[in-house]
Chain A
Amino acid sequence: MTVVSPLVSVQDLSVSFPSRGRHPAFMAVNGVSFDIAPGETLGLVGQSGSGKTTTGRAVLQLQKISSGSVKLRGRELTTMPQGELRRMRRHMQFVLQNPYSSLHPRMTIAQTLMEPLIVHEAVPKTRYRERVAELLELVSMDPSVMDRYPHAFSGGQRQRIVIARALAVNPDFVVCDEPVSALDVRTQAQIVSLLHSLQEKLKLSYLFIAHDLAIVREVCHKVAVMYRGEIVEKGEVSQVYDNPSHPYTQILFDSAPVLDPALQRRRLQMTPPDPSVLVAGRPDEKCALGEIHTETGTVPWHEISPGHGVSCRYRPA
């Protein structure tokens, strides 16, 4: 068996926002670790405010981190000098949720797509328009539209343009932050299949941030569930979806509406699952899985089957 080294490796990443006025300092991301192999998609799910977006930004070094390590292609990003980091950026790109606000309204599609080419000197000047045409074809758009402005396009088309911009400099790794949640369901399906085919063609790795569990199941190989800045469960999509093991993951699954009217009616009749019953727990007391982590010197993490782990924190009191 050959061991493939991960493309992205995040170890014990924490991000803390300093205290402001009466508000104390806030740990937005707390000890998050994960690997993403080449050509693999990791889904990051959780409710708003759970630290998903901050994690994505911290991985891309767009957010100052408090501690931890982020490696891309084996190189540490967190201590890298600015100039070198800027050159590394062509390997990692970002696709944001709202295709209406992430494109400049006064720039043509060609200008938008040329910008990363200029910044990273990715192709010679004479090839700019040729490369823009290639990029539009890559996302299944007609290159003849390149001199139009964003307002001429629908939400789905704009998201294709945003994806094309991310791919302009041939990255290996793309963070997609809720890339389809602003779109209609049929458009969602098209963008999802586009992301799939691009991954296959270009061997891309994705960090796919979403709150929609069903979309994550379709897009991702692995999934990490976040709650209050921590990963509480992680595994292959099939492991987590067939056997959700952390109480918070179970609450998420129980809350998601199902496409079966009779079953959904029964679910709505029941008391709605409420995450506020979950408490963090203390490391010097016996955890939910029977271990005192300060005594054993271990992290509050338990492997329940190969590749499938859960945190013993945030359990019902």
Chain B
Amino acid sequence: MTADGPILSVRDLTARIVTRKQTVEAVKGITFDIKRGEAVGFIGESGCGKSVTARAIMRLAPEGMRVDLGGSVNFCGQDLLAVSETDMRNIRGRRIAMVFQDPMTSLNPVITVGAQIEDMLRRHTGLSGPAARERAIELLDQVGIPFPARRIDDYPHQFSGGMRQRALIAIAISCDPDLLIADEPTTALDVTVQAQILRLLLRLREERGMSLMLITHDFGVVAGMVERVNVMYGGRIVETAGIDEIFRAPSHEYTRALLDAVPRLHREGAEP
């Protein structure tokens, strides 16, 4: 594999969500690549299929639902839709990690933050005992948790919203993944905390050469973070463009409508 070849190559991916009552085609054949070290944004409104796409790559279904997938998801030469569940378990978390929107529901409330990181390390890297603990402290430090050696034995409820999101990012990067999928990672957070988390993701990406798939409904969040954006609507990618281009000259009508609806912080021409 060449250095600048795609690390993830998705071809004609479809996802049908099957519930007892009905079947919904949430993703209707989308195709995209993410290169090694590249950051790509996925933007769209709720129900456009962006989160289902992320979960399809991880082969995760929303609770109580079955998702039928079609097409191919090529990750480092393997079709993830064809590998066994056992192999998938080794890829999930270790090679591809995910950070979700709500840091309270994605952490286990009755297990300390440290134990949750150590659990990941034990499962995927073979580190255990004091070595795992030491590595967990290191990770908490890297994501900017003050006094990590003291906070490692805290439970999630003892962390603020921003700290919980940092802890989740620490878990996600604990096994040095090649690709990090962040699904609305800052939506539940205040703007000051949002700025800190975005900066952290940017820094980790630079330091580790990690690829980033950033899913959001917020143009402000992708603006400084990614090189390319895929705009999704109704289960399809309707526009794909470089980040500067999409803000300067969006070509799809839907992208223009979305951008026009975003409220501006300053009057035209008064941008700081």
Contact = CB atoms under 8 A, between A and B. Distances in A.
Contact of A272 (B161, B195, B244): B195
Interface string B233-272: 0000000000110010000000001110111111000111
A215 interface: yes
A257 B46 contact: no
Interface of B: 45-46, 161, 190-196, 198-199, 202, 217-221, 223-225, 243-244, 247, 257-259, 261-266, 270-272
A119 B194 CA distance: 43
Closest 9 CB pairs between A and B? A257-B220, A264-B224, A214-B263, A264-B223, A47-B190, A184-B45, A255-B195, A265-B224, A255-B191
8 contacts: A47-B190, A184-B45, A186-B257, A217-B266, A251-B192, A257-B195, A261-B223, A261-B247
Given A185-B258, A214-B265, A259-B262, 6 more contacts: A192-B263, A242-B270, A258-B271, A259-B223, A263-B224, A263-B271
A252 interface: yes
Given A262-B244, A268-B224, A256 B262 contact: no
A189 interface: yes
Main secondary structure of the interface of A (DSSP, over half): helix
A188 B218 CA distance: 12
Q: What is the size category of the interface that chain A forms with chain B?
A: 35 or more
A288 interface: no
Nearest to B222: A261
Contacts, number: 113
A137 interface: no
B45 A261 contact: no
Which of B161, B217, B218, B261: most chain A Cβ within 10 A? Answer: B261
A261 B263 contact: no
Nearest to B190: A47
Q: Which of B244, B263, B271 has the most CB of A within 10 A?
A: B263
B190 A257 contact: no
B272 A258 contact: yes
A112 B39 CA distance: 47
Most chain B CB inside 10 Å of its own CB: which residue of A213, A215, A254, A255? A255
Given A268-B198, A274-B192, A258 B261 contact: no
Contact of A47 (B192, B198, B199, B220): B192
A293 interface: no
B219 A259 contact: yes
Contacts of A48: 161, 190
Contacts of A253: 265, 272
Contact of B264 (A259, A261, A262): A259
Given A258-B223, A259-B223, A186 B45 contact: yes
Nearest to B192: A255
A261 B245 CA distance: 10
Contacts of B259: 259
Q: Which of B217, B225, B265 has the most CB of A within 10 A?
A: B265
A272 to B, nearest CB: 5
Given A259-B219, A261-B243, A262-B244, A211 B262 contact: no
A199 B195 CA distance: 34
A267 to B, nearest CB: 6
